[in-house]
Amino acid sequence: MNEQLKLLIELQDLDTEIVSIVDNIELLPRKFSQFEVPLKEARTSLESINKKAEVLNKKKHDKDLELDEVQDKIDKLKARSSDIKTNKEYEAHRKEIEVFENNIYKIEDEILVLMEEIEASAGNMRKEEEIVRKAEDEFKKQEKIIEEEKNRLNSEIEVYKARRNDFVTRIDKELYDQYMQKFDRLGGLAVVQVRNEICLGCNTNIPPQLYNDIKETGKTYTCYYCKRFLYYLEPPPPDENPQSIPQSS
């Protein structure tokens, strides 16, 4: 195998590693987003509970005002009791006060129900705040982990790029330009093995003569079909000392 082809093979290996690292870096935001979901859900749930609590407190506030207004009317009615002259007027006056007092009992019952709902809502809010806190802690933890992973991958890719630059300077420019054209056009795979008369880039049979030339000469050839650079590697020798199988007695 000639030196230029060896360099192309090693360059392909480097570029494959670089592409893999780039893919991993691009996947990090998606990986990170999965930790945003529980946090967003917890915050949305907390916001819903907060809004419900605001509605309940507003209702209680309105009921408190209503209670004060009814109590004020009762107080005014009672203050007028001394002005009543007849039993008929007194009876009508008493019934009017009784209506307002019954209304007070009703409002007070409604306020008690609202207070119970507000208390329950406050308990739910405390629970949900704890869930939000834990989700925020986990989010920050994962954010740090992913940021560290991103920095590690960026450092790793710089090492590969530096090695790549060294290879590029040793490859014939015209050959390198061909490599890059194939690399860009063929999904990042410009140099592939041939095995058993098959191009492992497009899985197509190549002519037997071409296969023999690649094996015997080690020169730079391309596939007739996908146009990738082809190379041949001798298969590893079989195990010379296979483990003996014990004979049955």
Domain ranges of the chain: 3-170, 173-231
pLDDT of residue 230: 93
pLDDT per residue as tens digits for the range 40-54: 989 999 999 999 999
Rg of the chain over Cα atoms, rounded to whole angstroms, equals 42
List of E strands, the chain = 191-195, 198-199, 204-205, 221-222, 229-231
pLDDT of residue 166: 87
User: If pLDDT is split at 50, 70 and 90, which confidence band does 242 have?
Assistant: very low
Higher pLDDT, 79 or 236: 79
Q: Pairing state of beta strands 191-195 and 229-231?
A: parallel
Residue 83 has pLDDT above 80, yes or no: no
Report how far Cα 110 is from the mean position of its chain's Cα atoms: 45
CATH pick for 3-170 out of 2.40.128.20, 3.40.630.10, 1.10.287.1490, 3.80.10.10 = 1.10.287.1490
- Kindly state the tokens that stand for 94: 């008493």
Rounded to an integer, the average pLDDT of 79-108 is 83
Residue 248 has pLDDT above 50, yes or no: no
pLDDT per residue as tens digits for the range 128-172: 999 999 999 988 998 899 999 999 999 999 999 999 998 899 999
pLDDT per residue as tens digits for the range 97-134: 888 889 889 999 999 999 999 999 999 999 999 999 99
pLDDT of residue 239: 60
